[in-house]
Chain A
Amino acid sequence: MKKLIKEPLLHFLAIGALLFAVNAWRSSKRPAEVNGPRIEVTAATIGRLCAGYERQFGQGPDAAELRGLVTAHVREEVLCREALALGLDRDDSIVRRRLAQKMEFLTDDVTSAAPPEEAAVERYFAEHAAVYAKPGQVSFRHVYFSKEKRGAKAGTEAAECLAALARGASDEAMGDAFLYGFNFAEREKNDVTALFGQDFAKQLAVLPAGAWQGPVESSFGLHLVRVDARSEAAPAKLSEVRAAVERDLNDERRVTANREIYEKLRERYEVAVDEAALAKSAVSKTAQR
């Protein structure tokens, strides 16, 4: 059964059936008028109530609980039919938006019911290669000089340390505490920006590799930096990013299909807007700007 539920073809056939149901309902009169005062709680309804209960609580309802579910269902059905008969659904923005949303669910389901063809995946990947490219990375060490602790001396002390580093001194005992630590391996520029700020990330990007440099200023203070390795952005292979490509292609198709369907459905209607009322109702906002 589980396998069956995953079958995409089945999915959209299910949607098909649903559409049929929606259509049948739409073309019929209000249920209370059609069915009279009869509410049938069929085996299918009971099955659905049981399944819903089981999905929430991990096991099915006992007799008393099931009776309670049926009572609640009947109550909902009675009120629902009366509400529909009164037309309470018509001017309710929540009901209307929910229905509109369900129409989009249908389209969403149809578009994602079948996996895209290989050629389409390859084409999409080629067109969006930049999105999937592996970002450039940098590995670096740094020594931090806190302006808060050292005040105006921070700059000269950093310069002295830089000279010592050039003579081969170890960086391990130099500088001040830094909550993120001192070794940063294979970091993307975004990551450096998030940790050190934009200016530091920009300066780091152009520092030559291999030797201690600086001081470089960050949002926190001064840093001596040694870039150890740097890799430029490189194109990805489709096999490495296939899942993301398929996801994005499906998303694009879903958006396109929703728009197309709306446009087609829209063509079935003739829309007349009371332009005079529109013009009269609009508020001038120029004063506020």
Chain B
Amino acid sequence: MKATVFASTLATSLAISTAALAADEAPGGDAGTLNKDKAGEAFKKRPYSPYADRSFPARPFFGDTHLHTGFSMDAGAFGCRLNPRDAYRFARGEQIIASSGQPAKLSRPLDFLVVADHSDNMGFFPDLFAGKPEVLSPPMGRKWYDMIQAGKGGEAALDIIGQFSQGTFPKELMYMPGTRAYRGAWQETVAAAEHYNDPGRFTAFIGYEWTSLDKGNNLHRNVVFRDNADKAMQVEPFTCYPPLGSTNPIELWKWMDAYEKKTGGSVLALAHNGNLSNGTMFPITEAFGKAIDREYVEARAKWERLYEATQMKGDGESHPFLSPNDEFADYELWDKGNLDGSEAKKKEMLEFEYTRSALKNGLKLEAKLGTNPYKFGLVGSSDAHTGIASFEEDNFFGKTTPQEPSAHRMTAAFMDNPKTGVKIMDWEVVSSGYAAVWAQENTRASIFDAMYRKETYATTGSRMTVRFFGGWDFEAADANSREPAVIGYSKGVPMGGDLYEAPAGKSPSFLVGAMKDPLSGNLDRIQVIKGWLDAKGDVQEKVYDVAWSGDRKPGADAKVPSVGSTVDVANATWSNTIGAPELITVWKDPEFDAKQRAFYYVRVIEIPTPRWTAYDAKRFGVKPLPGTRMTTTERAYTSPIWFNPAK
């Protein structure tokens, strides 16, 4: 509702200012000619409507694109009793009772949520009464109908059961042999999203997870619908078991294509947890026994608009083995094996699992095949199996129901495969993350469209605000302008965008700024990460510190020294006496070569704050196991801006 008002206010205010402009001009003389200087001046004046300077996205919307409820088989088996409705209610700020029986509430509502339950085992809607409209009229049916309407649904259901057991249920309603009659969880999932979608205030997306597991290697994708139930209900989620389903993503993309062709709707997919794919998430030579060809790279680029770069089962931005010069690469890693621990990790797998190396290899594939299959935007999300999208360190409800807050979750094992030696402890579960989306308004269409154009960033659970614009003309003074976003959009492209055709002698410049989450730690630094394809056809990367708090001086290696730490682990507290609440700068690539493909993305790092394990140790009085990480440095990763050299 609010969003519609916003749009119409904007339109009206533009109309008013144009009209006012003409009126102003009239007394001067010739009303027919508009003096250009005066017109310019009038337009520079702030219009009456405070919304009028916000045709661009003015604030990020935060959400989770990847939440499971009790409808997912494994979540249900773990004891999750919450359903999609509960999940949407919690995300929009209501207090609910978690499956473990304790009350849960967010520090502040989320703006959107995708309940992405597993696609398999979702069932079909029974078509029991096709061609038998007469079943609508039995008197007994009318009686039950009236009971339900009056709120006596429980009685009606019991009465129905009673009629059955006594064999007095009307004959014409009887079970038709051969019809497997059970209602689909998919229908209920869609209905829940429809019920809680509240345009302008809270967006409940329809979606599902395609849970492809190939030899224990995680190739999952989440599918998000731009559409409402009228379109989404025309299909069933794509599954993994033959003959209907497949574990090969090519088949998922075909399903997506068929959906769009059939309904005229729109869907996009996000892959996640490349870190548990044992080298198969971002292939560069072959997948499922078939060479990576034009068809593969084009379909992947078309359908997989975003990648989930961080979540509970490990952060996936970068790995120290791949980025030995990046001292921040070693963050909340899960790099011991694949999803079920059936195969241990080998170093050579890592290149095909992490965000940064995929972005780099994408440049290589683009040079070879004409399309970059790994030109994705970045988001964080959770993969929680609790129905509870809460990933702040001091309000963490765990990955599965047994990991909801209790005295044991500090010491239990999450996975233990003695055969391969892959063992992961519960304390290693990461309280991460959220998807931040720069959309104009909080609606399915607007947020989806922003995801589609990749104007997104990932956070590890903190709600910091990050702006990132690239262009050819940004100057240092732009960082001091009062409204950087206005300059950003007018002189450049936002995160997720492309730069083409470098003007002669110019290097790309970037306007980058970040504000802290009001409830979390100050900011340590902003970094720009550049990846490029060099003259020899090899991929390269470099991390630049571009803005930082205080008067720290970069060392001989150009790196800014550590910000330090104020964390008091025993009391699970910290103070914002170090770091900065906001950082903004203009950065120009000092080593630009207009002939080389490149990408740039931003990493924002917070000062150290207590990790969820510190809050647990304090609140439950539990002694952590040796080696348990007790502090964290929350971060954000933006979608890249790509530079495409002239052909």
Cβ-defined contact, A17 with B77, below 8 A: no
Name the one of B151, B158, B262, B407 contacting A116, with C-beta atoms under 8 angstroms.
Answer: B151
Which residues 172-208 in A have Cβ within 8 Å of B in the complex?
Answer: 172-173, 175-186, 190, 193-198, 200
Q: Whole-angstrom distance between the alpha carbons of A21 and B128 in the complex?
A: 12
Q: A9-B145, A110-B156, A111-B153 are in contact. Are A198 and B482 (CB under 8 A)?
A: no
Name the one of A55, A184, A220, A288 contacting B50, with C-beta atoms under 8 angstroms.
Answer: A184
Cβ-defined contact, A44 with B243, below 8 A: no
Q: Whole-angstrom distance between the alpha carbons of A264 and B196 in the complex?
A: 31
B125 partner residues in chain A, CB cutoff 8 A: 5
A197 partner residues in chain B, CB cutoff 8 A: 518-519
Q: Whole-angstrom distance between the alpha carbons of A16 and B234 in the complex?
A: 25
Q: Whole-angstrom distance between the alpha carbons of A69 and B185 in the complex?
A: 22
A128, CB-defined interface residue at 8 Å: no
Instruction: With both chains docked as a complex, state the minimum distance between the C-beta of B69 and any C-beta of chain A, in angstroms.
Output: 11
Q: Whole-angstrom distance between the alpha carbons of A115 and B235 in the complex?
A: 26
B20, CB-defined interface residue at 8 Å: no
Cβ-defined contact, B519 with A14, below 8 A: no
Q: Whole-angstrom distance between the alpha carbons of A181 and B163 in the complex?
A: 65
Q: Whole-angstrom distance between the alpha carbons of A186 and B234 in the complex?
A: 39
Which of B347-355, B364-372, B536-544, B580-588 is the contact stretch?
A: B580-588
A9 partner residues in chain B, CB cutoff 8 A: 136, 141-142, 145
A130, CB-defined interface residue at 8 Å: no
Interface string of B545-585 (1 = CB under 8 A from A): 00001000000000000000000000000000000111110
B8, CB-defined interface residue at 8 Å: no
A275, CB-defined interface residue at 8 Å: no
Cβ-defined contact, B236 with A194, below 8 A: no
B592, CB-defined interface residue at 8 Å: no
Name the one of B124, B180, B482, B580 contacting A178, with C-beta atoms under 8 angstroms.
Answer: B482
Cβ-defined contact, B77 with A107, below 8 A: no
Q: A146-B582, A176-B482 are in contact. Are A101 and B182 (CB under 8 A)?
A: no
B174, CB-defined interface residue at 8 Å: yes
Instruction: With both chains docked as a complex, state the minimum distance between the C-beta of B406 and any C-beta of chain A, in angstroms.
Output: 9
Name the one of A8, A17, A59, A182 contacting B128, with C-beta atoms under 8 angstroms.
Answer: A17
Q: Whole-angstrom distance between the alpha carbons of A141 and B50 in the complex?
A: 9
B467, CB-defined interface residue at 8 Å: yes
The residue in B77, B160, B176, B622 that gathers the most chain A C-beta atoms within 10 A of its C-beta is B160
Which residues 147-168 in B have Cβ within 8 Å of A in the complex?
Answer: 148-151, 153-158, 160-161, 163-165
A133, CB-defined interface residue at 8 Å: no
Instruction: With both chains docked as a complex, state the minimum distance between the C-beta of B412 and any C-beta of chain A, in angstroms.
Output: 12
Q: A113-B145, A148-B580, A220-B582 are in contact. Are A56 and B255 (CB under 8 A)?
A: yes
B135, CB-defined interface residue at 8 Å: yes
Cβ-defined contact, A58 with B180, below 8 A: no
Interface string of B111-134 (1 = CB under 8 A from A): 000000000010011111110010
Which residues 222-245 in B have Cβ within 8 Å of A in the complex?
Answer: 234-239, 242-245
Q: A65-B243, A172-B46, A185-B51 are in contact. Are A18 and B181 (CB under 8 A)?
A: yes
Which of A82-90, A155-163, A246-254 is the contact stretch?
A: A246-254
Q: A9-B141, A18-B181, A177-B484 are in contact. Are A52 and B173 (CB under 8 A)?
A: no
Instruction: With both chains docked as a complex, state the minimum distance between the C-beta of A219 and any C-beta of chain B, in angstroms.
Output: 4
The residue in B125, B150, B183 that gathers the most chain A C-beta atoms within 10 A of its C-beta is B183
Interface string of B390-415 (1 = CB under 8 A from A): 00000000000000000110000000
Cβ-defined contact, A55 with B581, below 8 A: no
Cβ-defined contact, B234 with A110, below 8 A: no
Q: A102-B182, A113-B145, A182-B483 are in contact. Are A55 and B136 (CB under 8 A)?
A: no
- Residue of B whose beta carbon sits closest to that of A65: B243
Q: A56-B238, A179-B513, A220-B516 are in contact. Are A194 and B154 (CB under 8 A)?
A: no
A59 partner residues in chain B, CB cutoff 8 A: 258
Q: Whole-angstrom distance between the alpha carbons of A177 and B511 in the complex?
A: 12
The residue in B54, B85, B239 that gathers the most chain A C-beta atoms within 10 A of its C-beta is B85
Cβ-defined contact, A16 with B160, below 8 A: yes
- Residue of B whose beta carbon sits closest to that of A285: B407
B178, CB-defined interface residue at 8 Å: yes
The residue in A48, A106, A110, A285 that gathers the most chain B C-beta atoms within 10 A of its C-beta is A110
Q: A10-B129, A12-B145, A219-B516 are in contact. Are A179 and B465 (CB under 8 A)?
A: yes
Interface string of A99-140 (1 = CB under 8 A from B): 001100111111111111100100000000000000000010
B169, CB-defined interface residue at 8 Å: yes
A185 partner residues in chain B, CB cutoff 8 A: 49-51
Q: A9-B141, A183-B53, A285-B407 are in contact. Are A110 and B518 (CB under 8 A)?
A: no
A72, CB-defined interface residue at 8 Å: yes
Name the one of A44, A178, A219, A261 contacting B158, with C-beta atoms under 8 angstroms.
Answer: A261
B621, CB-defined interface residue at 8 Å: yes
Q: Whole-angstrom distance between the alpha carbons of A59 and B257 in the complex?
A: 13
B489, CB-defined interface residue at 8 Å: no
Interface string of B451-473 (1 = CB under 8 A from A): 00000000000010101000000
Which residues 192-249 in A have Cβ within 8 Å of B in the complex?
Answer: 193-198, 200, 218-221, 244, 247
Cβ-defined contact, A181 with B144, below 8 A: no
A220 partner residues in chain B, CB cutoff 8 A: 515-516, 518, 581-582
Cβ-defined contact, B173 with A17, below 8 A: yes
B533, CB-defined interface residue at 8 Å: no
Q: Whole-angstrom distance between the alpha carbons of A120 and B151 in the complex?
A: 8
Which residues 161-216 in B have Cβ within 8 Å of A in the complex?
Answer: 161, 163-165, 169, 173-183, 185, 188, 195-196, 198
A172 partner residues in chain B, CB cutoff 8 A: 46, 482
Name the one of B93, B146, B156, B175 contacting A24, with C-beta atoms under 8 angstroms.
Answer: B175
A139 partner residues in chain B, CB cutoff 8 A: 50
Interface size on A, residues (CB 8 A): 105
Name the one of A5, A44, A141 contacting B176, with C-beta atoms under 8 angstroms.
Answer: A44
B283 partner residues in chain A, CB cutoff 8 A: none
A23, CB-defined interface residue at 8 Å: yes
Cβ-defined contact, A105 with B129, below 8 A: no
Cβ-defined contact, A177 with B513, below 8 A: yes
B156 partner residues in chain A, CB cutoff 8 A: 12, 110
Which residues 257-313 in B have Cβ within 8 Å of A in the complex?
Answer: 258-259, 261-262
A93, CB-defined interface residue at 8 Å: yes
Name the one of B148, B480, B549 contacting A114, with C-beta atoms under 8 angstroms.
Answer: B148
A244 partner residues in chain B, CB cutoff 8 A: 198
B249, CB-defined interface residue at 8 Å: no
Cβ-defined contact, B136 with A21, below 8 A: no
Q: A9-B145, A10-B136, A177-B479 are in contact. Are A20 and B59 (CB under 8 A)?
A: no
Cβ-defined contact, A108 with B582, below 8 A: no
Q: Whole-angstrom distance between the alpha carbons of A260 and B53 in the complex?
A: 55
Cβ-defined contact, B583 with A57, below 8 A: no
B624, CB-defined interface residue at 8 Å: no
Name the one of A53, A71, A120 contacting B244, with C-beta atoms under 8 angstroms.
Answer: A53
Instruction: With both chains docked as a complex, state the minimum distance between the C-beta of A39 and any C-beta of chain B, in angstroms.
Output: 11
Cβ-defined contact, B154 with A111, below 8 A: yes
B70, CB-defined interface residue at 8 Å: yes
Cβ-defined contact, A179 with B484, below 8 A: yes
Which residues 51-72 in B have Cβ within 8 Å of A in the complex?
Answer: 51, 53-54, 58-59, 70-71
Cβ-defined contact, B243 with A1, below 8 A: no
B497 partner residues in chain A, CB cutoff 8 A: none
B620 partner residues in chain A, CB cutoff 8 A: 288-289
Chain A interface (Cβ within 8 Å of chain B)? 1, 4-5, 7-10, 12-21, 23-24, 40, 42-45, 47-48, 51-53, 55-59, 65, 68-69, 71-72, 93-94, 97-98, 101-102, 105-117, 120, 139, 141, 146-148, 172-173, 175-186, 190, 193-198, 200, 218-221, 244, 247, 251, 253-254, 256-261, 264, 285, 288-289
A-B contact pairs, 5 of them (CB 8 A): A47-B127, A51-B124, A186-B2, A219-B516, A289-B407
In addition to A23-B164, A181-B54, 12 A-B residue pairs with Cβ atoms within 8 Å of each other are A7-B136, A10-B129, A12-B156, A51-B124, A111-B153, A111-B157, A116-B151, A117-B150, A117-B151, A139-B50, A148-B583, A197-B518
The 5 A-B residue pairs whose C-beta atoms are closest, nearest first, are: A197-B518, A111-B153, A44-B178, A183-B50, A257-B154
